[in-house]
Amino acid sequence: MRKRMIAAAIAVALVAALAATLGLAGCAKPAAKKGPVELNALFMKQAGYSEDDITAMTAEFTKANPKVKVNLTFVAYEELEPKILASYSSGGYDVVLGDCIWPPKFSKAGVVLDVTKRMAAVDTKDIFKGALDSVSYDGKYYGMPWLNDCKYLFYNKSMLKKAGFSAPPATWDELAAMAKAIKAKGIAKYPIAWSWSQAEALICDYTALSEAFGGGMIGTDGKPAISADGNLKALEFMVKSLKDGITNPKSTEMLENDVLATFIAGNAAFGLNWTYMYAAGKDPAQSKIGADVGIAPIPGTAAAKSATVNGGMPLMITSGSKNPDAAWNYILYLSSQDVQKKYAKNALPIWKSLFEDASVVATSPEVVVTSKTQYDYIRNRPQVPYYGELSTELQADIQSALLGKMTPAAALAAAQAKAVDLAAKK
């Protein structure tokens, strides 16, 4: 009797669970038909357009498209990826904001839709190449660039002036020489601050440096080339700057926000960071250095005039979306020139032509002028599906070199061996 009861209970539970999944799948289909369409969109809370901006843009979109309803969700950057991965197959979110390093793996894993055909109608020639590259993989597009960002060289104008320099450095050697002079004159104890903590931020700085030194982590044949000459030179430059005492030794535990804090407290003459450091540095409420904040393209070497890292974020459609057409229309609206022009104050446009627009330039003349040059030197972090693992391994190996536990050559050789292994498995 008892056994039968238990069996019955399990059967009931199984049927209930099955019914629930079937119900979900069942009610999913008819929604694609005509009538009001509901879109769920996932955005990020910090950096770039504010929550208010996105809410206002969306309100304008739904006003023009009364049959579409858009539900917005805002989460922290760290939450974006887990949320996308947990919901993409059921189409929990139709439109998602993602990091520029995700499209290759998302496309391979079938998380987002191929939008190559849809992109045909977009004037891609007017979009900065670096931004466009970040959404393409294997010759196909998997999203639309939206938030435009890259790292810049920030410098403290008065510190440079005190040390006898009138312009920011154009090469890394110049920067090192200036830093040494600033240190020698006692203007700043550690002139350069970096985000070299074991995190993605380290790979961002390393990408800018290694590309400037003529390196590149993936060869033209698509295979890992971590121990290439330029990459080694870049890592040696990093290690030497620590040894020479021109790099703040705390850099190995710093993230971008720590670089910002150090720089605006007047404790660093140089720092690489995203666009947001400019506004924060000028803000008298948080910054001690206000008028001294300078922004310039990241230095180069004889091998490359300049190189920065792409930090843009594209909008993508999840593969489980029931309304990909409506989702794409919404994406097109958000990334349109008109909208990007109207909200240029918090995020610079992806459209080259808008950089000539007076109202866009007026939002922050120094940044717009610098970015026009800098955008021509945007480099992407390795565009490979196994980038997640590669970055994890690289972070640890580069840190081993920075902390003096391994020589730069040995660290990169170790990373290369792991990268070859990763590439072979996929």
Partner 1 sequence: MSIRNSEGRFALAVSAPALAIILAVVLLPLATTFAYSFMNVELISAANGSFVGLANYAEVLGSRAFWAALGRTAYFTAASASLETILGLFIALLLNEEFFGVKFLRSIVIIPWAIPTIVNGSLWKWIYNGEYGIMNAIFLKLGLISEYRSWLSDPFAAMNLVVVADAWKMTPLAAIFFLAALQSVNKATYEAATVDGAGPYRRFFSLTLPYLTPTLLVVLVMRTVEKFKAFDVFYMITRGGPANGTKVLMYETYQRAFTNLQYSQASTYAYLFVIIIASLTAFYIKALRKSEEFNA
Q: Which residues pair with 124 in a beta bridge?
A: none
Binding flag, residue 59, partner 1 (CB under 8 A): no
Could you please report the per-residue DSSP string of 22-63?
HHHHHHHGGGGSSS-EEEEEEEESSSSS-HHHHHHHHHHHHH
Span 233-252, contacts to partner 1 by CB under 8 A: 249-250, 252
Binding flag, residue 140, partner 1 (CB under 8 A): no
CA distance 6 to 192: 68
On whether the CB atoms of residues 42 and 73 are closer than 8 A, the answer is yes
Helices 172-184/229-243 angle, 10° precision: 0
CA distance 134 to 149: 12
**Which one of 109-117, 136-144, 296-304, 342-350 is the stretch in contact with partner 1 (CB under 8 A)?**
109-117
- 1 vs 120, which CB is nearer to partner 1? 1
On whether the CB atoms of residues 153 and 298 are closer than 8 A, the answer is yes
- 253 vs 338, which CB is nearer to partner 1? 253
Number of H helices, E strands in the chain: 18, 13
In one-letter notation, the amino acid at residue 239 is: V
Which of 3, 5, 121, 285 is in the footprint of partner 1 by CB under 8 A? 5
Collect all residues with Cβ–Cβ distance below 8 Å to 167 and sequence separation of at least 6. Answer: none
Which of 23, 82, 164, 219 is in the footprint of partner 1 by CB under 8 A? 82
Q: What are phi and psi of 58, to 5 degrees?
A: -65, -40
Binding flag, residue 9, partner 1 (CB under 8 A): yes
Read off the DSSP letter of residue 298: P
CA distance 98 to 316: 7
Q: How far is the CB of 255 from partner 1 (least distance, A)?
A: 9
Binding flag, residue 1, partner 1 (CB under 8 A): yes
Q: How far is the CB of 282 from partner 1 (least distance, A)?
A: 20
On whether the CB atoms of residues 39 and 320 are closer than 8 A, the answer is no
Collect all residues with Cβ–Cβ distance below 8 Å to 126 and sequence separation of at least 6. Answer: 351, 352, 353
Binding flag, residue 105, partner 1 (CB under 8 A): yes
On whether the CB atoms of residues 116 and 141 are closer than 8 A, the answer is yes
**Which one of 53-61, 137-145, 276-284, 390-398 is the stretch in contact with partner 1 (CB under 8 A)?**
390-398
Structure tokens at 202: 């380290």
Give the per-residue contact string, 184-203, with partner 1 (x = CB under 8 A; - = no): -------------xxx----
Binding flag, residue 396, partner 1 (CB under 8 A): yes
Binding flag, residue 285, partner 1 (CB under 8 A): no
Q: How far is the CB of 119 from partner 1 (least distance, A)?
A: 23
Which of 38, 126, 173, 253 is in the footprint of partner 1 by CB under 8 A? 253
Read off the DSSP letter of residue 139: T
- 1 vs 27, which CB is nearer to partner 1? 1
Q: How far is the CB of 137 from partner 1 (least distance, A)?
A: 11
Binding flag, residue 229, partner 1 (CB under 8 A): no
**Which one of 207-215, 288-296, 305-313, 385-393 is the stretch in contact with partner 1 (CB under 8 A)?**
385-393
**Which one of 13-21, 41-49, 175-183, 340-348 is the stretch in contact with partner 1 (CB under 8 A)?**
13-21
Q: How far is the CB of 396 from partner 1 (least distance, A)?
A: 4
Read off the DSSP letter of residue 150: B
Could you please report the per-residue DSSP string of 374-397?
HGGGEE-S--STTHHHHHHHHHHH
**Which one of 48-56, 132-140, 356-364, 387-395 is the stretch in contact with partner 1 (CB under 8 A)?**
387-395
Given the rule CB under 8 A, which residues bind partner 1?
1-2, 5, 8-9, 12-14, 16-17, 20, 81-82, 85, 105, 108-111, 197-199, 249-250, 252-254, 258, 261-262, 265, 267, 385-386, 388-389, 391-392, 395-396, 399-400, 403, 405, 425-426
